[in-house]
Amino acid sequence: MFVVNVEGAIYRNGKWLMIRRSEQEEHAAGCLSMVGGKCDLEGMSSDILERSLKREIYEEVGIEVDDLIYVNSSSFVTGKGTHVIDIVFLCQEVTGEPYAKSEEEVGEVMWMTTHEIISQKETPAYLKENIQLAEKKLAAN
């Protein structure tokens, strides 16, 4: 019915961890994005969103995160007609220095300020909104 996708808003020293999605990706190839990915089918499970996000972040950029705080959720339909529910969490970085660990999924890793993300014309509107909401959540905590 839906693909469930989770994304991490990871903040350090005044900047957000962003990736440029690999050109090999089926959805949003080459686009600026937060780190994340799909939840796997697990049957009966608890904390699936949180565990999936931690797994995806480690698989894609090689760092561990903790203290996940819900930011928002949205839905969209991919160019191939797949219905997706997307959930964003504010994450505390715990260990490691991010790098493009999964080159099939990640073309580039970068740290960017909110202004840098929002001011780029090619930044998707949903990413601008998610970063602004994550920044509000960060300020409230």
Task: Tell me the per-residue pLDDT of 7-38, one tens digit each, with 9 for 90 and over.
Answer: 999 999 999 999 987 556 565 556 799 999 99
pLDDT at 80: 86
Token digits for 99?
């790098």
Spans in the chain with pLDDT lower than 70? 22-30
Calculate the alpha carbon distances from 90 to 17, 25, 73, 78 in Å.
Answer: 11, 24, 12, 24
Residue 15 and residue 112: Cα distance in Å, rounded? 5
Q: Give the residue numbers spanning the domain of 59.
A: 3-140
pTM: 0.90
The CATH number covering residue 70 comes to 3.90.79.10
Number of compact structural domains in the chain: 1
